[in-house]
Chains A and B, each alone.
Chain A
């Protein structure tokens, strides 16, 4: 089945640690996105990538980093510089072109302990 997979579903991070969230898609989509969702709020864009080896910052990129070495994969690293990382993280992908829908993974809930 085609889809977008995020792992792990739950992740716990100690203060000062970097953690990496995985996002893999087998939809052959060109564009991939990372969003952060805080309780009762909408989605805020962290990073996006339109093509392999290229990515751009979104509205809240500080404290995060990404890579896009393969079309299928767009991992997000939450660094120690991110002061308030506890949130629900969502990865999405879209095919090339206009008027396309976004396909979402099931999310990773990150908690700082």
Chain B
């Protein structure tokens, strides 16, 4: 399977703290993307980082990519209760999207 893996599987933090989740994958990629899923809903795209990029920012989100280690991390700074959701990485090769197993984030008010 080309499915990636996120860790930790679950993360619980206090509001205002930073949350970091990691993604490891196995194959070469065109880009890596992070998505958010609220319970029982579809996935929403957060950020895309290309294979030749090392770091990218979008608002409170910071993504890093290390293609030599086949890993990526997503940092959410100054977390809010509304950030509570599951977060998935997706590795993209051609038009194929391979989603990881997800990290369930709970932000405690």
Q: Which residues of A lie under 8 Å from residue B30 when comparing CB positions?
A: 98-99
Q: Is the interface of B mostly helix, strand, loop or mixed?
A: strand
- Are A42 and B48 in contact (CB-based, < 8 A)? no
A64: interface (CB < 8 Å): no
Contact A42 B50 (CB under 8 A): no
Number of residues of chain B lying within 8 A (CB) of chain A: 27
Q: Is A35 interfacial (CB-CB < 8 Å)? A: yes
Judging by beta carbons under 8 Å apart, are A104 and B101 in contact?
Answer: no
Asked if B42 is at the interface (CB within 8 A of a chain A CB), the reply is: yes
- Decide: B45 and A101 in contact? CB cutoff 8 A: yes
Judge if B107 is at the interface, Cβ distance under 8 Å: no
Question: What total of chain A residues lie within 8 Å of the partner, measured CB to CB?
Answer: 27
With A42-B3, A42-B101: A103-B45 Cβ-Cβ less than 8 Å: yes
Cross-chain contact A105 with B31 (CB below 8 angstroms): no
Inside 8 A of B88's CB, which chain A residues have their CB? 42-43
A contact residues around B100 at 8 Å (CB)? 42
Contact A43 B95 (CB under 8 A): no
A1 within 8 A of B: no
Closest to A58 in B: B96
What's the nearest-Cβ distance from chain A to residue B38, in Å? 10
Chain A residues numbered 73-105 whose CB sits less than 8 Å from any CB in chain B: 88, 90, 92, 94, 98-99, 101-105
Return the contact of A104 from the options B44, B92, B104 (Cβ within 8 A). Answer: B44
A residues apposed to B, CB below 8 Å = 6, 31, 33, 35, 40-45, 48, 50, 59, 88, 90, 92, 94, 98-99, 101-107, 109
- What 4 A-B pairs are tightest by C-beta distance, nearest first? A104-B42, A43-B99, A101-B45, A42-B101
Residues of chain B having any CB pair with chain A under 8 Å: 1, 3, 30-31, 33, 35, 40-45, 48, 50, 88, 90, 92, 94-102, 104
